[in-house]
Structure 1
Amino acid sequence: MIASLRAAGGDTTEVEVKSAAGGLPASLTAILSALANQPGGGTVILGLDEQAGFRPVGLGDPQTLKQDLAAKARAFTPPARLTIDDGVVDGAPIVVARVHECDRSAKPCRVTATGTAYLRGYDGDYALSDVEEQGFLAARRPPLFDRAPVEDATVDDLDTELVDAFLATVRERDPAGLGHFPDDAELLRRGGVTVAGGQPTVAGLLALGVHPQQWFPRYVIQAAAQPLPTDSAATRARNQVTISGSIPRMLDTALLWARRSFDTAIVSEPDGTVHDRPAYPLVAFRELVANALVHRDLDHWSAGLAVEVRLRRDRLVVSNPGGLYGITVDRLGRDAVASARNATLVAIYQHVRSPQTDARVIEALASGIPTVTEALADHGLPPAHYVDSGIRFTVVLHQPTTVTNATSAEPELSAAERRVYQALTGQGRTVNELAEQLGLTGPNLRKTLRNLRGRGLVAQHGGRGRTTTYQRTNP
């Protein structure tokens, strides 16, 4: 864990490090609440200095720190559950506290004295709002909101073009199942688009509606880009838009926004062709926005919240109300788990296509995250950073950090290449060892290692029946 923190250069959403040289820091109150509310919980490490590369500070009395931690755990409602252990880093003692996730039926975990609960975001801990608290309460029961009929809506509020395409696709791809119903109205009802009498459901209106925002004004995408350095000081944002319509039409419009907003480089390929290369791969952006639209929370508490897309100078952030459902962050892209918060909406969207590109909106095959991972690696970008606060899910894509490699004639490394390079030691590491330490997949690691080998920074040893290891050429 410490090696991963040093490679990343900072805390993560799952791990918080404090020096605690003068005792328990006051900020630990918010941290313990936030980690208890976070899916999977987290870990607090006391006795390391983050600013000094996570080196030990030399705890004078670890036993007192452990006792103070145990006492502090009782200052929450419900009490925070901790497993506290001793550890050793570089020969010095540290204290490691595993913060267990609070039971879903008791969330949120609050500071008893103030009644405040905290959430952990990709950019820090923050106090829970009243609306977000409703999200935790709503999560105590199965999400069925997408099945409900929409009051005052009629079949005339469905988009004829989208409905016709949906019916044709169902009958082509599922002729023995849903597609075997010859009557259009019956097929729409049995497919969850409408209820008896033709009234659209929430899922049906979002998927195939003419203008769902007539009933759900905030079921939109709010996108904006950070001002450029050349913009005036009064410029607060650029390319700021609110994207409305049915989900497939919102997705198409979001891609148009990305093409206008992403920086673009002119790149020449080895075969001599020249093309534009956006700062972020559009296929990855499409997958992330589609997931945000289809898997966002649809319950009453989140009715005032939009899907948000924020383009910063060094990162792209896509966020939606509602945390992961049926899967945890550490399993994203690793297990073939196709969980669905909005099961009816997902079932409809397996047969919905983009009006502009005729591409499927989603596949429901758990292939979206691997597609994002592969696209980012092909683009030379670091892996996506996924943050699940329990009631909000955020994905952060980072631009590579250009650094100077003092031990090599090659001057520049991407962030992913730098992480792998720094993790290599003089005796060499296997792909499995690097994958476990850095949290990267084998294919991405092998591609990064090939790039480093091609630049003469890494040497490969073994192969042909022997263990294959990699090490720096200049350890």
Structure 2
Amino acid sequence: MNIINIEQLVLQDESDTLEFKKSTSKLKEAAQTICAFANCKGGTVLIGVTPDLKIIGQEITDSTQQKIATIRQLFEPNIPLNIEFIAINNTHKIIVIHVIYTQLHPPYLFDGRAYKRVNSTTQRMPATSYQELLDLKRKEHVSNWEDFFTDKTDLYLLDHNLIKQTISIGIEANRIPGAAINESIEDILTNRLNVLKSGKLTNAAIILFGKEDSFVKPQVFIKMARFMGNDKLGNIADNQQIYGNMFYILDRAQKFIAQHVPTRSYFKHDQYERIDKYILPVLAIREAIINALCHQDYSNAYSDPEVALAIYNNRLEIWNSGKLCPGITINDLKKSHASVRRNPNIAMVFYYRNLIEKWGTGTLKIMDLCREHNVPEPEFVEEFHGITIRMPFADPISSQLTYESELTSRQKEILVILGVQKSCSAQQLLSQISDNITARTLQRELKQLSYMGMIASSGGSKNIIWLINK
């Protein structure tokens, strides 16, 4: 979310799913509304917006964050929240609190009391309404988050082309009967994919097929970064946060991999053409991303990202919030093991789309692909309330590796000049580059080449010399 999104929300004014507060001095009232949203159909609270709809924000200090953490402890049970701090200027930020409706635990209490939302107001929940929610919870016992109903019934919230594409791929792969191609969207979702029940869309339907511009669960989120070093303390060459349905996220993750996982070039003795080979097997990386999407615990949607993809100089890591299911250990992942599916309907759709094979073979496939690629064996680690798949590079990223995303002609020219001259100052490079560019543009190109590990600098701040990285 950014300031433009904030402005668009403010234009909508307060409603049954939207509330504004001037500052955290109104945090208690905001918490009551959060409780009401959780008991109804979710919503968003913006802190830093005045009653006359002016966006003013506030300073975010350690004390501010401590107050938020303290107030969260007064919810019973714990309410899934997604909290963002959106800068509006150099000193002030808007606090955006997304309240995620899951049907998992209602009714919720704040400070021992239940609240409900009526139009744009928050009210104490009457004892009769509270009891009705308790009774409903007992009657509608559902075992899995993906099966929980949303408050949506409009099928046009879903991407129909993506649904039809899923059926076509499944038929071609002999995983869905051919007759399904002539079925209606409603029949497909109900009878084939099991994500529409009693005319209501389930969470699985939304996160699998939700349109980009429609309601999409905040849980469907991936954070991707390229760190220039072996830890998170180095420079960040690229940092992306992507929301969307699962197949959109998978597509964006694959593009990020193509951009930031470099290739190694070599020649075979009987061939003249150069062969480019990724330093990690891309199919293994894709398998790991799919594994994370299918197995993560979507019911735990807090402020941390649900899937995180990080590329360092010496490894690639993929983390997701799904702990190992009962009966499965880390050691089991490296051998044939029983399949325990946290999200069976989601996994089945990925199976229909020919993205996964047999159950319980994903981690073995990752290991086999790495072995065939002659790279170190991947590691599986249970940490940070989730699972990390760590894929080491055979050699750290260096200037001998070429990025799949092609260099610009200017960057290639800089490399040629440095290759001939051995080393150059920025001023010397400016005098030799064929097109007329500013010193700032050159610095931007040098910085990008440095991030990619192709060039290095030496000398003091006023006498920097650039050279090919060896």
Give the TM-score taking structure 1 as reference length.
0.47
Give the TM-score taking structure 2 as reference length.
0.48
